[in-house]
Structure 1
Amino acid sequence: MSTSAFSLEFDLNNAEIRTMNKMYFKDLYKKRVTFFLAIVLLGIVFLGGDHNHDFFQWILRDLILVIFFLLFHCLIVNTICKVTFRVIKRLLKFDRLLRRYKFSFTNSFIGVHSPLGGFTHQWCQIEKAILTKDFFLLYIRDKNAYIISISTKDNCCHKIAELIAFIDGNVTPVERI
């Protein structure tokens, strides 16, 4: 990879934001909500309640609580995520929130930023790069196999051309369709 300074940043349009929320942040947010609920459960099990009673009663009560959590955690997490993404969908009408969604590309990583969190990917995770008439697609090799799509219409042609040249020369050949 070239050691020359390379840095680009792309703002996202509404369609790209919706796609990114579905692909990236839905999984990330589900993991965060599950982690938070697991911490709450552990807090209730170990810190909540009266431990002066019989040890068997304490174990039985907490076992029932853990089983209840495991049975209904998917439903609870999905409900929390659906409500959150409905609120975000309504909030996307405001420019202030829209400007916080960005892709950034540097020599060493690809950054995906949003109000819900962010990801960074190394260039070696790029499996394939495809340029179509309307989009430039980067296929990320990861557990969930993400696709980064950048609209070629809304972004400056010079920026897209510079990104394509960098990827074509330093990362992987760009397929043109």
Structure 2
Amino acid sequence: MEQLTGVTIEAIDLAAWAPAVLEVQAVAFGLGPQEVAVRLPIVGRHALQPGVIALAAMAQGRLVGFGYGMPNQRTHWWSTVIEPYLAARGHESWLDGVFAVTELHVLPELQGQGVGTRLIRTLCERSGLDRSILSAIDAETPARRLYRSLGYRDLAPSVRFPNTARPYAVMGAHLPLRDPARP
């Protein structure tokens, strides 16, 4: 993986940056204007969660990627959806005492250049927790390969979120994350 120079990772105020990060997510994830409008208040609510960490990847004054997460709570909507899937596989304990990587997106032209790796590693390092959990589209995508290279493993495949057509996989990793540059 080629490392991109000139990209800085910096902490951001998620509420203030919500419109900008959603623009990046729209491009990276292929979201339309209606989907972005639905997600804006969700990001605003996430910004108010205790322990939320939000980071921006900046290149020449331009937002090129972002990530955020928070200590997981069983009462969060996401947790209530994934709990039965994790419980069915004996992984329900992954809902407690873990850092949930909520969103991680990099503009397509910069993917594969180490930006996502730097974002997720920094998020997890700053969490102060010893495990991390996330969900990703349940397909062999570059994102899934990235997560596996960092030490994430599948905890529950074929998770169905309401109003989504594609299944997701829930993945978990012990922290610190592996360094994908080391064999």
Name the TM tier (shorter chain).
under 0.3
Report which of the two has the higher share of strand.
2
Report which of the two has the higher share of helix.
1
In our comparison, the structure showing a higher alpha carbon Rg is: 1
For normalisation by structure 2, the TM-score amounts to: 0.22
